[in-house]
Each structure stands twice: as C-alpha cells, then as structure tokens.
A and B are shown apart, each in its own frame.
Chain A
Amino acid sequence: MRWRYPLSVVGALNLFFGLTMIFPLGYGLFHQDQSVVPLMLSTIITLVSGLLIYLVFRSDKSEVISQREGMAIVALGWTSVSLFGALPFYLAPGGCSFTDAFFESVSGFTTTGASILTNIEETPRGLLMWRSYIQWLGGMGIIVLSVAILPFLGVGGMQLYKAEVPTPVPDKLRPRIRDTAMVLWKVYALFTVGEVIMLLLGGMTLFDALCHAFTTMPTGGFSTKNASIAHFNNVYFDVTISVFMILAGINFSLHYQLLRGRPLAVWRDSECRFFLGAAALLTIIVAADIHGNIYPTIAEALRYGLFQVVSIVTTTGYATADYEQWPALSQLILLLCMFLGASAGSTGGGMKCLRIMLVFKYSYKELFSLIHPRAVKHVKLGGKVVPEDVMHSVLGFLTLYMGLFAIASVLLAAMGVDFITAFAAVAATLGNVGPGFGMVGPVENYAQVPTLGKWLLSWCMLLGRLEIYTMVILLVPEFWRK
C-alpha cells in the first residue's frame, strides 16, 4: 500500500470540497447573517489545507489505484471532509463544542439527520443552509461527484466508486464510470429541482423549500424547524415529501431507465417491487394500529402512518408525529424498518432491501435443500443467478452489521445511556435514519448523549453510509501490512 498518491487524492478531494462551499457562503453573504464569518473562515481553512495536503503528496502522474488504496481514500476522504464540514458549526457565534460540531457534520454528510442543535429556528440561515447542503452532497456521494467532475480521477475512479457505492450487484449504466457518476448526479439534481418546485407550489418559502429538497432527496432528514415537517401541519407537504422520499429510496439507475422512457424497467425490478410492497404493507399495518386510539379518522391514520413508515424505511428521519406515543406494534415495525432500509443504489441507508431479499432467498434455498437433498438450486434475482461470492459478501455484510450493532449498543450502554436509547441510537445512526427511540426519539435529539457516545455514533454513521466494509477494513491489521 502506497501512501503518497492516496493522500494527494484526499487533498484534492478537500480542495474540491472547499470550492463547493462557495454556494452556502454566497447564500450567507446574500442574507448578511451571522453565518458569513464562520462560513468564510471554514472555506478558506478547507481550501488552504486541501491545497497543502495535495501539494505535499503530489506526484507527477496519475496512477492506477488498487482496491485497497481506493478504500483508504474513500474512508479518509469522508473523515476529513466531515472534519472540515464541522468548522462552520464550531466557529459560529455561540457555537458548540467540537464534538457536537463534528457529530452534526458527520450526521449531515452521511445523510443521517441526527442533530445536536436544540433550537434550530434560532440558528443563522446560512448555517441551516450549510447543514442541508452537506446532506445533499453526501446523499449521492462526494466521491461519486468527484469522479464525475474531476478528470484526474478517471483512472482509479472505478475503485473509488466501488468503495463508496458498494451495492451487492453493481449497475454500470454507461461503459465509463465517469459517465455513470455524471448520469446519477444529473438524475439526483433533476429530482431535487422537481421537489423544490413542488414545495414552492404548495406555498413554502424558497429557503425552506430548498433546504427540505436538499435533505429529502439524499434521505437525510435535517429540517429547518424544531418540530420537523410537523411544523407545517399541511397534507400537501406531507404527501409531496412522502412521494419524494419514496423516489429517493428507489435505485437511481431505475430512475435513469424511467427518464429514458423505459418505465417498465422499474416494475420489472424485483427489489423495487419488494421495497414498494414492503412500504405499502407496513403502512397499512401501522395505519390500522394507530387508527382509533391515536387518530380518529382513517384518513389521518393513513397520513401519519404513511409519512412515518416512509420516513423511517427510506432512512430519511423526518417526523410529523411523535411515534413514541404509538402502540408497541407500530413502534416495533418502525424499529425494524431502520434495519430494512431502502433499495440498493438509492440514497437511503439501512441494510438495504436487496440484501434482505437475498438472505431470505438464500434461507429458502437452504430449507429447500433439506427437503430435496439432491436438488441443484441457485439463488436468483429477477431470473438471473446470483453468484456465490456475491451471496457470501451479503451474508458477511449482515453478520458484520449485526455484530457492530451489538458491540456499539453495548458500548453506548456502558457509557450510562439507558437500554432503549442505546439500542435505538445505534440502530438509527448505523442505518443513517436519524431519530430513534427513548432519549433520541423524534421530538428529542442527540444533545444529551455523552461526549464519547457522540464519537461512537459518528463512527456508526460513517460505517452505515459506506456500508461497513470500507470503514471497518481500516481496523483489520492485514490492511496495514506491507
């Protein structure tokens, strides 16, 4: 493993990230609020540091990146970008501790939406815009964006892309990875613009519309209001945002097919059917459960049931209701939704429907072989055989996911956090959901979590966003061996 070249790439990534900071800075300048100074300072610090790292480690020629180096670049890149992203929160007047700032920044980039800000409405607008904006960047992936835009990453782009978007069955939409990344970002941007327009039509202010579109499409969940979407108490917004959350939870390569005039591709995709079916079924169960005791009419039960289920299953994390007041069945379903997650190749988190489907199919295959010991059977997805190695990596992923979930929640409990909170906070951060249960429920936030716990949960968020392997591999001694 060489260090020079990967570090120079990380430097370049930060330089590039510093450049993208100009958008929220411009917004702050336009509004002339208290966020101007911290944003400007952060931009300068990021640009200078990025440039320095790049210049120190720069090599003359663009080199081929190995898989191992790709993973290191992505893991370091995300960590460093999160560090620089924390600066505006830290430097803001009356700002928070660096732990809190880092937590907020990671929560943004990983599209988790877990917050430590206690009074959001008081926060300067430039900073709120910054908060939503980093979620938007993180949603489709900063590496994917860099691969799409930075020409010098062309050679090793594939390794970086694979490390950031580790879908079990990768779709390459175009022959070249750069074009693929570009296409995905274009679709993503298009949907974002669509949502802004829809929200504006419903009467939202441009600032709120922009911030919410920036956090819906990446299934992030940061809101500009303390009460999240419940603040608006508007059926139109609930439905519009639900629709866009569902869109964000579907594999973006299917959206690309859809936009190219092949709507059937979406329906033929078995994962998409599974995702939509699961969301519909769970909504009905939850709505039936909360109808009568919480909400008197069926329409209300459906409205809040749908929004909450979709918000959690796509791992967005907006709230229109305090689901901790709901019956145990609904709460349990929402907790399980945190693990299920959205489709592979979407901006959602969790374990991903695809993996769950594959594991179910694999288990069925095992049962089937018990009944027919001599049967030859493959796990199939949409009529195609899933290769054994993919199956193994999915099983490994699940094992790691559950293992890390167990370890992290035990550690959090050891820090003095209560039982339910420890459980739910790890599930919600590992799945990039945001709100959990107990101390970190939908109407509370993460401010009360102990400092060490915040670092642990920040790490969980990064683990979840990069789908475990890329982050966890840094802990394997073999990785560092020459």
Chain B
Amino acid sequence: MKIIIVGAGQVGYHIASRLALENKDVVVIDKNADAIKRVADDLDVQTIIGSGSSPDALHEAGVGDAEILLAVTDSDESNLVACLVADMLSPSTKKLARVRGADFDQYHDAFRQNVPHIDTIINPEIEVVKTIDRLMSVPGAADVGEFADGRIKFVGVYLDETCRLAGVQLMDLPNRFGKDRPLIAAVMRDDELIIPGGQDRLLPGDLVYFISEADKLSETLSKFDKYIEPVRRVLVIGAGRIGFRLAKLLEEKSIYCKVIEKHADRCQYLAERLNKAVVLHGDGSDQGLLAEENIKEIDVVITLTNDEETNILASLLAMRMGASKSITKISKFSYFQLMSTIGIKQVVSTRLSAINTILQHIRRGKVLSAISLKSEEAEVIEAVALETSEIVAKPLRRVSFPKGAMVAGIMRQENIIIPTGDTVIEPNDRIIVFARKEAITGIEKILAVKLEYF
C-alpha cells in the first residue's frame, strides 16, 4: 500500500510518521528542502523535493500505483491543483485534500462529484470548532470524542481530590454503582497511558477516559462529581479563522459571545459579519480590558490566537481573574504534557484535529472511526466485528489481545454493552477499542481486517 503525502508541514510530518510506524509505504513531496530533510532524517519514508502539483514529481512518487494521495500543504490552491493533476495522471487514486477557506464549505460535495474528484476534503478548523463545542458542553472534560454518529461519547476527565471515586479500585465500581457503573477505558497518569485492570486504583490527578451513551452523559458525569451547566457567556480571544467560525456558531446557538482581537482591520471585518457578538479591539492579555468586560461573569474563555504562549498566558490570566473555565489552543505537541501541571485542563489543537480527521477518513471500510488521544499516545477505534475475526464467538478473556489494548464498549443494535471477561462479541457488533500506539498493528490482526485504507 502506497500513500503519497504532498506537503511536509506539521500535519504532513505527523501523518507520515504515524503511517510509517504502521509499515505503510509513504512518499512525501515538498518544495521546501529543509522540511524534506527533516522528514528524511526522522522517518522511514521516501522523500521528493518538488512541487506536489508537478506531474513529474507525482510520476516520480509513483502516483500510478498509489492508493491514496494526501494534499496537506498550507495553501488551499496548491492542494486543489495537486489533486487535479493526480486525478489526471491516475484517476483510481483516492484523494484527500486539506482546504481551509470558508468559501469552499458549500462545495465539498461538488469537488467529489466533478473534477478533480477529491474523495474527502478536510478542514481541521471545522473540526477544532466542533471539538471546542463538545468541550464546552461537557464541564471538566479534557477530551471529548464521539462514536456511532454521536450516540456514544468518550470523555476524558481529570479526577479531583475531592471526587468520591478518588482512590477507588476499579473492581469496586460494580458494588458502588451496580449496572450503571461508569465504563472506564483508560487512565492517563504522569503522561503514561494505562489500560486499567480490576486491581488498579483511580488516583487524584488522573485523566480518566470513560465511555457513555450520549443521553446518559450527565448521569455518568455526576458520578465523577461533575455537573453539566449550560454555557451562557463566552469570551473568545483571538479571532482568526477558527475564532470567527466559533463566534458564528455561538451566534447560531444564541450564546452571548464577546470576541477580543488585536488587529483593527480584522475587527472591522468581524464587526461587519457578526451580528450579535460583541467585537472588541484590544489585547486578550490586557488585564484592564478583561476587567472592563466583566471577566468574572464569563463561563468559558477560549484563547485562539496564533501565538500559543499568548494563549496559555491569557487563559491563565482569565481564570485567575474569575472566569469559570478556559479552553486553550495549542499546536506544539511538546507543550501538552505541561498543561495539566500549570493548571490548563482543556486544550485543543488544529494539528491534532487535522490528524484525527485524516486518520478517520483514511481508515475507512470496517473501521468506522479513529480518534487520537492527547499527545498521540493512543487511539480509539470504532470497528465492526467480522465473522472471520478472532474476537467473535468466544469470551473476551480467551481472546489474546495485544498488550496495551482493550475493548471498551460494544454496541449491539441500539444497546451499549459494557464488556467483562465473559462477554462474547457477536458478528456485526460495533466495538470500541482503546489501543496504545504500539498495539495498533496487533489490533489490525485481531480484527481480521487490514486497517483498510479505503
């Protein structure tokens, strides 16, 4: 299986490293020799210096027998042209392009049906806005994902010291909550992902991942002493494309929203296009401005400037001044580990969103969706159990799971089943699997499907 990645930027680099780890043949094309050098030095992939829209470069990359072309340069136009040329050279290659311009939003389907036949257009900004929306709706959640078209949520929460679950052994959960016990899938402790067994205890400070039906979410959260409160007032700091999209979404949802933006021109642009949101010209880390705009009454502060250090500081400042909650946009993966230490719990990342979306779209076929957890340590995969696979028709305890992977939930028709060692997976069940990075290949095998790339 050959995959061509056009663009060796941050997203291209990370996708390439993921796929290389899974033993796929990856070719990376980029004009920038430095970027290519970094890829070539770090990863086991083929590299080509050249334009991704050049037929010569694509030929050299072997577009004829490539199954997927991924266009993820920073420029929408370059990505579209790369797909156009690839479509001409090799119509059978599946094409994914990252296109961020909002003007294209309505035309994603048209690009699939007409030339250049782009199978999937991904816009990580839309995904980030969706993620922010989910995070806002789940209080205390550090991570929220969705499966089965939103009917199942998987949520990561930090365990407070005062939480009644702190110090509890997992095997005690059935005694405490009976059948309604929360389904704990994974625990992140000191940057280490643990797939917990019955003996393990939950400790304060743990990031606990659990799975819940969407309509029982508030019930489940209450077991972690978290309660859903409606968000009424939001402050957005930094209104680039994501900030603008978010403000639009908040307007649609009739949530009172203030936007702080540093650039006067951008403020004009926003004020012309936003009707209800209050557009403020100023610096998001200006204490006077925050006080003037009554930061104490704000439910959620969302920092989305292009500078992550500013985001971190503005979030901390806003929280310090009395905002109830903050969501911070961060790009550098190396900062993720720091966040819980300095007290920032909710983080979004365009890059992580881009990778998630691409993975999700790449892993088609019997794998329904895949989501990367924080700092890419693990992945959550939703898949259909095939008749031919090893996991069906016997109790789970007799299935030889690779180390670092577990079945976290089973969906049979409309029901969600919390698996125990005795549970038997039936063909056509949807299963949700948590797996550490290194266990992915093992999971592929056990599901008896190649993690199909289309």
Which A positions have Cβ atoms within 8 angstroms of B? 372-378, 380, 383, 385
Contacts and interface: CB of A to CB of B under 8 A. Distances in A.
B280 interface: yes
A372 B271 contact: no
Given A376-B267, A380-B275, A385-B271, 15 more contacts: A372-B278, A372-B292, A373-B292, A374-B289, A375-B279, A375-B280, A375-B281, A376-B270, A376-B279, A376-B280, A377-B271, A377-B278, A377-B279, A378-B271, A378-B272
A376 B281 contact: yes
Given A373-B292, A374-B280, A383 B267 contact: no
Contacts of A378: 268, 271-272
Nearest to A377: B271
B272 A374 contact: no
Which applies to chain A's interface (DSSP): helix, strand, loop or mixed?
loop
17 contacts: A372-B278, A372-B280, A372-B292, A372-B293, A374-B281, A374-B292, A375-B279, A375-B280, A376-B268, A376-B270, A376-B280, A377-B271, A377-B279, A378-B268, A378-B272, A383-B275, A385-B271
Contacts of A375: 278-281
B55 interface: no
A126 B281 CA distance: 67
Nearest to B261: A376
B404 interface: no
Nearest to A368: B278
A377 B271 CA distance: 6
A375 B271 CA distance: 9
Contacts of B264: 376
Interface size class of B (residues with CB under 8 A): 10 to 19
Contacts of A380: 275
Contact of A385 (B272, B279, B281): B272
B282 interface: yes
Which of A374, A375, A376, A377 has its CB near the most chain B CB atoms (within 10 A)?
A376
Contacts of A376: 264, 267-268, 270-271, 279-281
Contacts of B293: 372
A375 B274 CA distance: 13
Q: Which 4 A-B pairs have the closest CB atoms?
A: A376-B267, A376-B271, A376-B279, A374-B280
Contacts of B280: 372, 374-376
A83 to B, nearest CB: 48
Interface string B103-130: 0000000000000000000000000000
Nearest to A372: B278
Interface in B248-302: 264, 267-268, 270-272, 275, 278-282, 289, 292-293
A378 B273 CA distance: 10
B236 to A, nearest CB: 14
A287 B267 CA distance: 47
A385 B272 CA distance: 6
A380 B277 CA distance: 13
Contacts of A372: 278, 280, 292-293
Contacts of A383: 275
A374 to B, nearest CB: 5
Which of A375, A377, A378, A385 has its CB near the most chain B CB atoms (within 10 A)?
A375
A378 B281 CA distance: 13
Nearest to B286: A374
A371 to B, nearest CB: 9
A451 to B, nearest CB: 54
Nearest to B271: A376
A407 to B, nearest CB: 38
A372 B271 CA distance: 14
A137 B406 CA distance: 85
B293 to A, nearest CB: 7
A374 B275 contact: no
A383 B264 CA distance: 21
Contacts of A377: 271, 278-279
Contacts of B281: 374-376
B238 to A, nearest CB: 15
B9 to A, nearest CB: 32
Contacts of B268: 376, 378
B264 to A, nearest CB: 8
A373 B275 CA distance: 18
A374 B262 CA distance: 11
Which of B268, B278, B282, B289 has its CB near the most chain A CB atoms (within 10 A)?
B278
A374 B283 CA distance: 10
A377 B289 CA distance: 17
A457 B275 CA distance: 44
A372 B294 CA distance: 10
A377 B270 CA distance: 9
A76 to B, nearest CB: 41
Nearest to B270: A376
B125 to A, nearest CB: 22
A374 B271 CA distance: 12
A378 B267 CA distance: 11
A104 B264 CA distance: 56
A378 to B, nearest CB: 5
A378 B271 CA distance: 6
A380 B276 CA distance: 11
Contacts of A373: 292
A76 B281 CA distance: 49
B259 to A, nearest CB: 9
Contacts of B292: 372-374
Contacts of A385: 271-272
Which of A374, A375, A380, A383 has its CB near the most chain B CB atoms (within 10 A)?
A374
Contacts of B267: 376
B164 to A, nearest CB: 43
A375 B277 CA distance: 10
A372 B278 CA distance: 9
Nearest to A378: B271
A376 B270 CA distance: 9
A374 B272 CA distance: 16
Contacts of B279: 375-377
A372 B270 CA distance: 16
A217 B278 CA distance: 43
A374 B275 CA distance: 17
